[in-house]
Structure 1
Amino acid sequence: MRLRGALLLLLVVGAAMAADGWSITLASADPVVRHGLIWRCRITGDIPTTRFSDGPYNAQVALTQGGTTLASQDFPLTRLGQLLGGIDVVLVPATPPNGDANIDLTITVSDRLRRDLQHLTRQLPTPLLLQRRLEQQQRQLRERGDLDPLPALWLEQAGELLLDGPSLATCHQLLDLGGRLERWLAGERTPEILRALRDPVDGSVQPYRLHLPAEGPVTALVVLLIEPARPLRKCAWPPVPPAWLAAARAAGCAVVEVYPAGDVAWNGIAQARVWTTIAAAITADARLRDAPLVLVGNGRGAEAAVALAEQHPLRLRSLGLIEARLPVSAALPVEPHQRWLALHRAGERPAHLLGTTVVLADAGSPATRLWCGRLALAGNVPLTVDAGATQVEFWQALLRTTTAPRRDWMILAPQRLGRLHIEAMSDWGIAASLSEDAAGIRTTGIARLRSDEPLPARLDGKPYRAPTSAAPAPRKHLGQATGPVAAYANGPFTVVIGTGESAAAQAENRALAQAFTLAWAAHAGGRVRLVEDTGLSDESLPGQHLVLIGNPRSNLLLARLAARTTLPVHWDARSVSAFGQTFLRAERRALALAWPHPAHDGRLLVILDGRPAWNAQGLPLAGLPDLLISGPAQEDPPAVERTFDNEWR
Structure 2
Amino acid sequence: MRRSLRVVAGIVLAAFSPAEDPSLRLASCDDLVRPPLLFRCDIIRTVDSREFATGPFTLTVSLTHGESDVASTEIAIAKLGDMRQGARIVLAPSQLEDAAGDRPAILRITLANQSRSRVERLTREVPTPVGTVRELQRLTSALTVSGEAAPLPYLWAEQGAEIAHEADAALQFRELSGVVSLLRGWLAGVRPTPALGLSLEAIRDPIDSSVQPLRWHRCAQPTAVALVLDQPGQPPTKAHWPAAPFSWWQAAATANVDVAEIYPAGDLEWRGIALIRAEALLAALARTRPVTLVARGTGADAAIRLARLHPGRVAAVRLIDPRIAGDLVGFPPSVHIGIYGAANPAFRAWRAQSAAAGAAIQDAVAPSDPVFWTAPSVVDGSAQPAPAFHSVCPAIGQLAHYARGPFVVVVGTREHRAAQDDNRLLAQRFVAAWAQHAHGIPPQVDDVAFDRARWRDHAWVIIGNPRSNQVLGELVADGFVLGAAWDSRSVRIGDGARQRSFPRADARALALVHERAGGARLIVLDGEPSWNGRDLPLSGLAGTLYIDPPLASEEALVSPDQHP
Q: CA deviation at 1:513?
A: 0.7
- Corresponding residue for 1:71? 70
Q: Cα 1:529–1:126, aligned 2, differ >3 Å: closer, same or farther?
A: same
**Does residue 629 of the first structure (1) align with residue 544 of the second (2)?**
no
Q: Cα 1:408–1:498, aligned 2, differ >3 Å: closer, same or farther?
A: closer
- Corresponding residue for 1:151? 153
Where 1:317 maps in the other structure, the secondary structure is strand
1:88, 1:395 → 2: CA distance? Answer: 49
**Does residue 244 of the first structure (1) align with residue 248 of the second (2)?**
yes
Per-residue CA distance 1:516-556 (angstroms, 9 max, x = gap): 11100000000021111113366562101111111111111
Amino acid at match of 1:394: F
From 210, 215, 220, the counterpart of 2:216? 210
Q: Cα 1:111–1:486, aligned 2, differ >3 Å: closer, same or farther?
A: same
Is the radius of gyration larger for structure 1 or structure 2?
1
Structure-to-structure mapping, 1:24-43, within 5 angstroms: 25-34=25-34, 37-43=37-43
From 487, 500, 503, the counterpart of 2:414? 500
- Does the 8 Å CA contact 1:363/1:369 hold for their aligned counterparts? no
What root-mean-square deviation, in Å, do the aligned CA atoms of Structure 1 and Structure 2 show? 3.4
Q: CA deviation at 1:139?
A: 3.8
Where 1:517 maps in the other structure, the secondary structure is helix
Question: Identity, % of aligned pairs?
Answer: 36
Aligned length: 539
From 542, 548, 551, the counterpart of 2:456? 542
TM-score by length of 1: 0.75
- Corresponding residue for 2:263? 259
2:406, 2:446 → 1: CA distance? Answer: 17
- Corresponding residue for 1:199? 205
2:10, 2:247 → 1: CA distance? Answer: 36
- Does the 8 Å CA contact 2:71/2:91 hold for their aligned counterparts? no
TM-score by length of 2: 0.85
Q: CA deviation at 1:148?
A: 1.2
Q: CA deviation at 1:640?
A: 5.8
Where 2:321 maps in the other structure, the secondary structure is strand
1:10, 1:379 → 2: CA distance? Answer: 67
2:556, 2:491 → 1: CA distance? Answer: 19
Q: CA deviation at 1:175?
A: 2.7
- Corresponding residue for 2:366? 388
1:297, 1:483 → 2: CA distance? Answer: 24
1:74, 1:413 → 2: CA distance? Answer: 70
From 511, 514, 525, the counterpart of 1:592? 511
Q: Cα 1:513–1:413, aligned 2, differ >3 Å: closer, same or farther?
A: closer
Where 1:485 maps in the other structure, the secondary structure is coil
Per-residue CA distance 1:297-344 (angstroms, 9 max, x = gap): 1100011111111222232221111111123x4xxxxxxxxxxxxxxx
Q: CA deviation at 1:75?
A: 2.6
2:380, 2:366 → 1: CA distance? Answer: 24
2:510, 2:436 → 1: CA distance? Answer: 22
- Corresponding residue for 1:184? 186
1:483, 1:405 → 2: CA distance? Answer: 25
**Does residue 359 of the first structure (1) align with residue 338 of the second (2)?**
yes
- The structure, 1 or 2, with the larger RCO (C-alpha pairs under 8 Å, 6+ apart) is 2
**Does residue 609 of the first structure (1) align with residue 516 of the second (2)?**
no
Q: CA deviation at 1:37?
A: 4.8
1:56, 1:638 → 2: CA distance? Answer: 92
- Corresponding residue for 1:309? 307
- Corresponding residue for 1:401? 378
- Does the 8 Å CA contact 2:219/2:257 hold for their aligned counterparts? yes
Per-residue CA distance 1:447-498 (angstroms, 9 max, x = gap): xxxxxxxxxxxxxxxxxxxxxxxxxxxxxxxxxxx96211111111111111
Q: Which piece of structure 1 moves more, 72-81 or 564-573? A: 72-81
Amino acid at match of 1:590: A
**Does residue 565 of the first structure (1) align with residue 480 of the second (2)?**
yes
- Does the 8 Å CA contact 1:553/1:571 hold for their aligned counterparts? no
1:375, 1:9 → 2: CA distance? Answer: 61
Q: Cα 1:513–1:406, aligned 2, differ >3 Å: closer, same or farther?
A: closer
Where 2:475 maps in the other structure, the secondary structure is helix
Per-residue CA distance 1:239-267 (angstroms, 9 max, x = gap): 12111111112212121111110111100
**Does residue 583 of the first structure (1) align with residue 562 of the second (2)?**
no
Q: What residue ranges of structure 1 are gaps of 5+ in the alignment?
A: 283-287, 330-344, 416-428, 430-481, 632-636
Q: What residue ranges of structure 2 are gaps of 5+ in the alignment?
A: 1-7
2:294, 2:438 → 1: CA distance? Answer: 21
From 437, 442, 446, the counterpart of 1:532? 446
